[in-house]
Amino acid sequence: MEPIRKLDGIIAHLKNIRKRKIAVAVAEDKHTIGAVGKAVDMGIVHAIMTGHKDKIIEVAEKKGVDPSIFEIVHEPDEDKAIARSVKFVHDGDADILMKGLCSSAKYIRAILNKETGLLPKKEVLSHVTVIEVPTYPKLLIVSDVAVLLEPDLDQKVKILGYCINVAHRLGIEEPRAAILGAVEKVNPKMKSTVDAAIISKMAERGQIKGAVVDGPLALDVAVSKECVDIKHLKSGVDGAADILIFPNIEAGNIFYKSITQLAKGKIGAIVTGASAPCVLTSRADSDDSKFYSIALAAAVAEVAE
């Protein structure tokens, strides 16, 4: 498989694999219906839409989407609709979970439920975003911008592993992963640099496999060979990162919003660590962002086969 370098490349890849089933919780949001409808029309997924049936049909018709392409499960109560969608995935009746017009906190709580949820023991719920930037020659896989506030060392190792798995699903056999900080030197007063150095050493000794890992690295040397040369830095990432691991959610979220709002970046994103990929998008995300998130989830769901 050739490395996928554009988000549309994921769509082309999905034409060669089995259609997935997606369970959408409280599926009354027009952007969600637009994205899911497009994914159904393109043969990427079969959709189970849980929520108020009349509202789903009304919104779909206003959006220009034929509601008959969906399997609609009538459940007007928000909490019960979320629970039923999670159960579809938990029981193996769906491959992907997606948030519709419901509370993000309730959606996450349902995934984390110890009895009926989707988080295996010893895993960490995190978030992986795949970004296409016009000024960068390949996709960037970044984490965490939305779930983990201040990941500790163990959590950073976990989220790096999730990013490596996503990279492999995109045909990137040995992704270059940058563990980010403000500087390239280890400073005991900057915890992010200490964590990055430990993770880099773990990879060097084979404790982390499937990627070239280096850190701490500032963002400029992670994505620019010219900056690497100017700083006379020797790094396996060498200004060509596929993966960026942020020190905390503030750094990650600011980067994510800067890229999408100021640099015309396009994104697809999933919640990782659960037993199945889960789509968690912002209310401000476009139909395209939600559609690419569904496509990314379908590609990652291949792992289960």
pLDDT of 304 > 70? The answer is no
Question: What's the pLDDT tens digit per position in 207-258?
Answer: 999 999 999 999 999 999 999 999 999 999 999 999 999 999 999 999 999 9
Whether residue 1 is contained in a domain is answered as no
Domain region containing 280: 7-119+274-304
What's the CA gap between 159 and 165, in Å, rounded? 10
* E strands present in the chain: 20-25, 45-51, 71-74, 96-99, 126-132, 140-143, 176-180, 212-217, 243-245, 266-272, 278-279
- pLDDT the model gives residue 302: 62
Whether residue 60 is contained in a domain is answered as yes
Give me the CATH number covering residue 237.
3.40.718.10
Closest CA to 301 of 9, 10, 7, 82: 10
Whether residue 2 is contained in a domain is answered as no
Whether residue 255 sits in one domain with residue 132: yes
Number of domain units in the chain: 2
Pairing of the two strands 266-272 and 126-132:
antiparallel
Give, as one character, the DSSP assignment of residue 70.
S
**Contact indicator for 62, 30 with CB cutoff of 8 Å:** yes
**Contact indicator for 293, 8 with CB cutoff of 8 Å:** no
Pairing of the two strands 243-245 and 45-51:
unpaired
Q: Is the peptide bond before 144 cis (omega within 30 degrees of 0)?
A: yes
Sign of the dihedral through C-alpha 262, 268, 272, 274: positive
Six-digit token pair at 206?
Answer: 């084979």
Question: What's the pLDDT tens digit per position in 194-209?
Answer: 999 999 999 999 999 9
Whether residue 141 sits in one domain with residue 113: no
pLDDT of 1 > 90? The answer is no
Q: How far is CA 219 from the centre of its chain?
A: 20
Whether residue 159 sits in one domain with residue 113: no
Question: What's the pLDDT tens digit per position in 97-131?
Answer: 999 999 999 999 999 999 999 999 999 999 999 99
